[in-house]
Amino acid sequence: MENKDNNKTPVSTRVIAVKVDDLTVAYNYKPVLWDIDLEIPEGVLMAIVGPNGAGKSTLIKAILGILKPIAGSVSIYDKPYDKQRQLVAYVPQKGSVDWDFPTTALDVVTMGTYGSLGWIKRPGQKQKKAALEALEKVGMLAFKGRQISQLSGGQQQRIFLARALVQNASIYFMDEPFQGVDATTEIAIINILKELRKAGKTVIVVHHDLQTVPEYFDWVTFLNVKKIATGPVKDIFNDDNLTKTYGINYKVSIQE
Amino acid sequence: MNSAQIEIQLIASLVAIACAIPGTFLVLRKMAMISDAISHSILPGIVIGFFITQDLNSPLLIVLAAFTGIITVVLVEYIQKTGLVKEDTAIGLVFPALFSIGVILIAKNANDVHLDVDAVLVGELALAPFDRLLISGVDVGPKSLWIIGVILLITIALLIAFFKELKISTFDKGLAASLGFSPAIIHYGLMTVSSVTTVGAFDAVGAILVVALMIAPAATAYLLTTDLKKMLGLSVFFGVFSAISGYWLAHVLDASIAGSITTVLGMVFLLVYLFAPSKGVIAVMYREKQQRTEVSLLTFLLHLKNHNEVEERHVNHLREHINWQKVRAKTVLELALKNNMILIDNDVVSLTQKGDTFTSKAIDYIITNEDAQIEDMKDDFFLFRG
């Protein structure tokens, strides 16, 4: 009997979107990520899970070149990140920016187009149109002129998502997009992420809520300074890996 | 007005504009203290440049001083990166050290040098028109005017060219880096412009006023707008306004021009701080008072909705039962009546249809926190503005 399920396709035959080799990142000479090897196949919706301080955000930042690793390399579709910027969109943690900054929702989303413009060139009508479309996709068109501090936490997260969508990238990196958002927004966001996957995009999410991993994601990476495991959720999301990652006896209560 | 007066006001205005532009970004980046550090620590650069050229307006001074400014920033970041002290401590360590080197250099050579610490701290705007720029024997105006004019032109050109980059790296460093706009390049670019502007303005207004002109107009503008371009425009406006009215204040009081301009800057900030329409102290107090009343109103309406018994809805009972002061109960009753949310019949209060719908909607909103459906309510009630 042959199983035609997409996730059963051997990793070796799938196109690799992101490849991380021997990556080590240190803050003040103390390694926070230790010798990470990781292959993320194209078209997966992947959660990165691990305890606080496991280096989840650091991994994303190192892949995106925001942090300089002390060893190792990263490639996006077989080329260094610098050459593939246009293929990648990034949603930082909501708390990483000052929401009192004097700007509007539309303006923040327009920032997503800056990468395709390059230095000096200014956004024009085309960029504005793309930003409005992205706002509509996340259900925030009515708030386009709103100053960003006047938005709720969930709305701010949608704005960040819209800013990534406007980049029209192939690979999306998101740092805890569900933190501090209400249930409605969480569902809205996960639906958009699933749509992205359906369109063949690769989505990588730093995630905290272990309960929702099997429901939201099809791929998972366990991380705790070192890589514990990576692969399809249905194969590797089990008590064994959770215990190895979190260091305590873990029981997945809702696994089907 | 004689031509010297016009020239002084012109120089002061150009300095104000040149300071307001980088100042806006420094305020937004929460780096106001860095401008204080730069304005002091460029002193050794100026002194050494002066020893070499014997000319306070030599371009070499600007280059050397800008270089010392950058060194300040680098040193502060280096000390901070060790993780042993916080940023403000690092700033407090670096700039007095550099500043005192400048002070010692001046003191050691006080006899043969026309440069004193007083002039460095508060500048000498009144003397600026006496130092003329001569091009093949023709007087083309005060040297300081030309220097700050050129610096201002460069600043404006850079602002126009890199506005988008400045905005994105100030708002979201991580995104800027991931999109290929190196935040480090923009950071040091801004620091260089701030240093050069500080040097250019130094001779005219001194180290203390430079800080005031960079920070005060931007801080004032920040309270008045939620748009970056408008904030820049308002900063420039407040800077120029304070420069010119400060000049005339000094004229009337026969006092230091730099001191008067700084005083006006402080007064303008204070006024805006108190009276700004949405972020000002008074507006915030008023809004909080409104919110308190509205929470009371909602509590009251909810009580009516939950109780059908006549005794629970009697005016006097409400005062006792909900435990309000008399004044408060009266305000709330009046507010509800004014909005046609209740009816009072024989001192018994009941909800109108409108009051009933309003209460349900408000409770819904508070429970689900979904605000799309009650956008219309937001205009009437501060409470629902998040």
CATH number at residue B294: 1.10.10.10
CA separation for the pair A209, A62 (Å, rounded): 23
| pLDDT the model gives residue B128 | 80
CATH number at residue B242: 1.10.3470.10
Q: Pick from A92, A114, A118: which is nearest to B174 by CB?
A: A92
Q: Is A68 on the interface with B (CB under 8 A)?
A: no
Q: Is residue A11 part of a domain?
A: no
Same domain membership, residue B123 and residue B13? yes
Q: What is the pLDDT of residues B248-290, one digit of tens each?
A: 999 999 988 888 999 999 999 999 999 998 889 999 888 888 7
Beta bridge partner(s), residue B343: B350
Q: Is residue B188 part of a domain?
A: yes
User: What is the token pair recorded at B258?
Assistant: 């730099």
Closest chain A residue by Cα to residue B162: A120
Same domain membership, residue B139 and residue B65? yes
pLDDT in tens, chain A (256 residues): 444 445 455 555 788 999 999 999 988 778 899 999 999 999 999 999 999 888 999 999 999 988 889 999 999 999 998 888 889 999 999 888 999 999 999 999 999 999 888 898 899 999 999 999 999 998 899 999 999 988 888 889 999 999 999 998 999 999 999 988 888 889 999 999 999 999 999 999 999 888 899 999 999 999 999 999 999 999 999 888 888 888 876 655 544 4
Q: Is A28 on the interface with B (CB under 8 A)?
A: yes
Same domain membership, residue B232 and residue B333? no
- Count Cβ–Cβ pairs < 8 Å, chain A vs chain B: 89
Full domain range(s) for residue B346? 282-381
CATH number at residue A128: 3.40.50.300
Domain count, chain A: 1
d(CA B153, nearest CA chain A) in Å: 17
Q: Is residue A173 part of a domain?
A: yes
Domain count, chain B: 2
Full domain range(s) for residue A101? 16-246
Q: Is residue A65 part of a domain?
A: yes
Same domain membership, residue B184 and residue B145? yes
SS in 3 state form for chain B? CCHHHHHHHHHHHHHHHHHHHHHHHHHHCCCHHHHHHHHHHCHHHHHHHHHHHCCCCCHHHHHHHHHHHHHHHHHHHHHHHCCCCCHHHHHHHHHHHHHHHHHHHHHHCCCCCCCCHHHHHHCCHHHHHHCEEEECCEEEEEHHHHHHHHHHHHHHHHHHHHHHHHHHHHHCHHHHHHCCCCHHHHHHHHHHHHHHHHHHHHHHHHHHHHHHHHHHHHHHHHCCCCCHHHHHHHHHHHHHHHHHHHHHHHHHHCCCHHHHHHHHHHHHHHHHHHHCCCCCHHHHHHHHHHHHHHHHHHHHHHHHHHCCCCHHHEHHHHHHHCCCCHHHHHHHHHHHHHCCCEEEECCEEEECHHHHHHHHHHHHHHHHCCCHHHHHHHHHCHHHCC
Instruction: Indicate the DSSP class of residue A6.
Output: G
User: What is the token pair recorded at B299?
Assistant: 């509590």
Q: Is residue B386 part of a domain?
A: no
Kindly give the parts of chain B with pLDDT less than 70. 56-57, 110-120, 318-328, 366-386
d(CA B18, nearest CA chain A) in Å: 21
Q: Which of B278, B298, B328 is at the close of a domain?
A: B278
Q: Is residue A105 part of a domain?
A: yes
Q: What pTM was estimated for this model as a whole?
A: 0.85
Q: Is residue B168 part of a domain?
A: yes
Same domain membership, residue B376 and residue B256? no
| pLDDT the model gives residue B81 | 84
CA separation for the pair A54, A207 (Å, rounded): 12
Q: Is residue B18 part of a domain?
A: yes
Same domain membership, residue B263 and residue B310? no
